[in-house]
Amino acid sequence: MSMKLKALGMIAGAVAAATASMGQAQDLAGETVEYVIPFSESGGSARWANFYAPLLSEALPGNPTVVVRYRPGAGSTEGANWFQEQTTDDGTLIFGTSGSTQFPYLLGDPRVRYEYSDWQPVLASGTGGVVFLPPDLGARFDGDFDDLGDEFFLYGSQGATTLDLVPLLSFQMLGLQVDPVFGIEGRGDGRLMFERGEANIDYQTSSAYIASVIPLVEQGLAVPAFSFGALDENGLIVRDPTFPDIPSFKEVCEATAACDTEGLAWDAWKAFFISGFAAQKMVYLPGTASPEVVAMYEQAFRDILARPDFAELAAAELGVYPQLTGDGGRSASDQATKVSDEARGFVLNWLNEAYGVSMQ
């Protein structure tokens, strides 16, 4: 009997410990959650993270303080490499990635020491992007780039293997002479180059475009040329629902003599567009986080997405795009970190030929 009582006592103790652990995991009262993004504080990722930070503070149990931290460098790979080494398991650290983090991983960049499958996704945010010109060149843009093929463009870039891969390949397909100035720490720095007259073509992701470029357009200081578009339910490129009055890249490509929407270049562009934009920004917990902590964050994001004012808030700050958590977030993360061998091979050859970038 005493042995049975002892065994029951041990079981009860284990259950109590597990319950206490779960309760602790689900209560962050008095804690500070660090929401780390591997970019500077002036770009679209910063805008996205600062949009979600106060909402998370309200939604997480215990209402912790959620602080956005910036760790830019090497097109975001420095911050991602740092996150790979973190073992925080109590929910006080989350990491926000972008396509600029995904592309070096997909292409086998030797700087990459992180593995997406080690991390635990709790949110996937789709987004878009818009390419724009200064007013003098914008006045010569009439839906195609045929009259701008002889123009010399300067473009501030984080690097050819970052999310800038999509606009750079777009420019190449359109037959434009674009000289990228590599080494900026975030897309916001590229926009500042444009504003100072140091660049005459730029693109921003939707959140940054809404906040920082639309005012320039309204002042006559920038002219939108095209958005990268969005995917419809059949997987076709259509106009971005956030910017329905701006033509998609597909439309502009079809109208430009040098560009083609069939063939290997188009297939590669579309593959990396899907990887970089359909689930462009994602929130991860370290692989060491417990299932209870993962569930806590998924529930917090479900509560945020269910807010009656969320659609209005998100449209104003992020645009009109899918925001996924739970199984949807995990599926989006999986799709965004995979491309076909054909698309990867084409892009690797193009990077080498166009910019001397080799992954060997």
Per-residue pLDDT tens over the stretch 222-260 = 999 999 999 877 778 999 999 999 999 999 999 999 999
For the chain, where are the alpha helices, taking DSSP H only? Answer: 2-25, 44-59, 77-84, 99-107, 135-138, 165-173, 187-195, 206-208, 214-218, 249-255, 264-273, 291-305, 310-317, 326-336, 341-355
CA-CA-CA-CA dihedral for 258, 130, 115, 88, to nearest 10: 170
> Is 344 contained in some domain?
no
Q: What is the pLDDT of residue 7?
A: 42
Put the strands of the sheet holding 223-227 in their side by side order: 202-205, 129-133, 223-227
Whether residue 105 contacts residue 116, with contact meaning beta carbons closer than 8 Å, is answered with yes
Residue 25 lies in a domain: no
pLDDT digits (tens, 9 = 90+) for 179-202: 999 989 888 999 999 999 999 999
Whether 1 has a pLDDT exceeding 50, the answer reads no
Torsion of CA 186, 286, 324, 54, to 10 degrees: -70
Looking at residues 2-17, what average pLDDT do you find? 41
- When pLDDT is cut at 50, 70 and 90, the band that residue 2 belongs to is very low
Is the predicted pLDDT of residue 206 greater than 60, yes or no? yes
The model's pTM is 0.79
pLDDT in tens, 277-297: 888 899 999 999 999 999 999
The amino acid sitting at 281 is K
- Which of 16-25, 263-272, 350-359 is predicted least confidently? 16-25
* One domain for residues 160 and 85: no
**pLDDT reading at 343 higher than 50:** yes
Q: Average pLDDT, stretch 291-304? A: 97
Percent above pLDDT 70 for the chain: 92
Same-domain check for residues 268 and 287? no
Query: How does the average pLDDT of the chain come out, rounded?
Result: 90
CB neighbour burial string for 78-111, b if at least 16 within 10 angstroms, e if fewer: ebbbbbbebeeeebebbbbbbbbbbbbbbbebeb
Q: Examine the domain organization and report whether 152 and 195 are in the same domain.
A: yes
**Interatomic CA distance for residues 249 and 230, integer angstroms:** 10
In a domain, residue 11? The reply is no
Strands 129-133 and 223-227, by their bridges, are: antiparallel
In a domain, 52, yes or no: yes
| CA 19 to chain CA centroid, nearest Å | 36
- 211 and 87 share a domain? no
Lowest mean pLDDT among 21-25, 38-42, 146-150: 21-25
pLDDT at 24 over 90: no
Q: Is residue 14 part of a domain?
A: no
Q: How many structural domains does the chain have?
A: 2
In a domain, 140, yes or no: yes
Within this chain, do residues 45 and 119 fall inside the same structural domain, yes or no?
Answer: yes
pLDDT at 173 over 90: yes
76: domain CATH number is 3.40.190.150
pLDDT of residue 235: 77
Tell me what pLDDT residue 359 has: 84
Do 176 and 71 lie in one domain? The reply is no
**Length in residues, the chain:** 360
**282 and 272 fall within a common domain:** no
23 falls in which pLDDT band (50, 70, 90)? very low
How many Å from the N-terminal Cα to the C-terminal Cα in the chain? 68
pLDDT of residue 61: 97
226 and 193, same structural domain? Answer: yes
Share of the chain above pLDDT 90, in %: 74
**Sequence-separated (6 or more) residues with CB below 8 Å from residue 36:** 68, 69, 70, 71, 79, 83, 93, 94, 95, 96
Mean pLDDT of 39-54: 91
Q: Which domain does 175 fall in, by range?
A: 129-276
> Could you give the angle at the alpha carbon of 48 between the alpha carbons of 47 and 52, nearest 5°?
115
348 assigned to some structural domain = no
Whether 244 and 327 share a structural domain: no
Domain identity same for 332 and 203: no
CA nearest 169: which of 76, 274, 277, 273? 273
How far, in Å, CA of 173 to CA of 279, rounded? 23
Looking at the structure, tell me whether residues 86 and 205 fall in a common domain. Answer: no
Q: Determine, yes or no, domain membership for 181.
A: yes
Task: Give the end of a domain, one of 232, 249, 276.
Answer: 276
Same domain assignment for residues 158 and 204: yes
CA distance 347 to 341: 10
Per-residue confidence at 9, pLDDT binned at 50, 70, 90?
very low
CATH code for the domain of 204: 3.40.190.10
